[in-house]
Structure 1
Amino acid sequence: MGLARGILAAAFAVIAVPAILLSGCSNAVPGTPVAEPRPAVPTTEEVASQIKTSMQDKFSNDPDLKPFKLIVTHVTAINSTGNEYKGIATVLTHAGAKHDVLLRITADHDNFMWETDPGAFNFAVDEGPAPGKADDPTYLKAVDGWTYVVTKSGKTRCQLTEDFVECEIQFSPVKYIDGQRVSGIRFVPSGSYKWEGGTLEGASFTKLDYGTYRTMSWTINATIDGTEFVHTNGNGIFVNTDGVHTS
């Protein structure tokens, strides 16, 4: 298939986290609350979040891994000793199969490093590269667990987390539900949605061209007719200025 197993024999990455060191002295006033000291090592939640982002960046940008369209859906980390952690990453292939990958993690507040055993990603080689162009779909990096997108027409803006998709839509004609004007929807992975009012403000939105995108556990299919959001469990919703329907 043009790619030897050895290329995916093992993977590792190092993340450098900027740190600011402050020094000085002060005359504390008795009874004044004092901030708790910084923990000696990062929390398991912090480690898991950093490693998930690092792994997805590697899958999306490494020339050898990019054609396989791997998606990291979840990372769990536990502290084994000191700044050493053990982890499990759940990786979704382009065919929809999920695989758990064991991780060895070293972390402090400034750097995070992860590595896998040789052959950890052989399942990707066995399945083969995803059909289509190597640069399609485009991966959208979530920031602090959020992704913000706006359609090419500019008439639909959406924010996504692992738990929901929320869209503000310029319905034409204006849409009323039970006598109340609505301006969007909130869709959850279970397959249900509800109508909402209001607007999405205060975020920087990535403008979508027509094509396929992935972010966190979602695939976004942007077309001239509208935009579809599909969760990895298969449930999805299609939205445009005419209305919405689940898929």
Structure 2
Amino acid sequence: MQREFDTDPDPAELALDVLDVQLVNKSGNEYKGIAAIRAGNGVKEDVQVEVTADGDNVLWEIPAGALLFAVPDLETDTPSRAVAVPGADMFGFFDGPRCIDVAAFIMRTGLSQIVVCPDDSPADLYQYRGLRLSDGARIALSADRTPGGFVATNPDDGTRYQVSQDGLAILTPDGEVYNEPAIAVGP
């Protein structure tokens, strides 16, 4: 990766540094993971990467537009951002829940950070990942798409987490409802 960033004229202009690459085996000789990349403008992003290796050759691929964080805006000379949620990119939060693939939904409330990640299963399922900001408590649950967003149910206690463009609703089994209005939603 670094060699191509240094020798290909387009990425070379962005002065990209590959800081770290973490991969997991997808199947056979295919791997999927995250590459931590810093641009010459000082902005650091985690970028999804897919790798195929046959022992002699290594082929890597990142999603189209994954390096936009490094491209200066022509009017302001500042990095472009694809997601309207502060402190997040298209994979989730820099200091909170993240997805390996591009997140299907990202939301920040006054009390929580939430991402909904696509699941690799053929059933088109999702995973709800939440972080309670007050104490750092995290939760990860299977989720289903609904007409207005996503819903996840905790199998341990029956608590339901519903997310939409409006915010997060937490419904307890005893009928209590806690609403957290959305501050920012993406992608």
Structure 2 length as normaliser, TM-score? Answer: 0.37
Larger Rg belongs to: 1
**Structure holding more helix per residue:** 1
**Structure holding more strand per residue:** 2
Structure 1 length as normaliser, TM-score? Answer: 0.29
Q: Which protein has greater RCO, CA pairs closer than 8 Å, 6+ apart?
A: 1
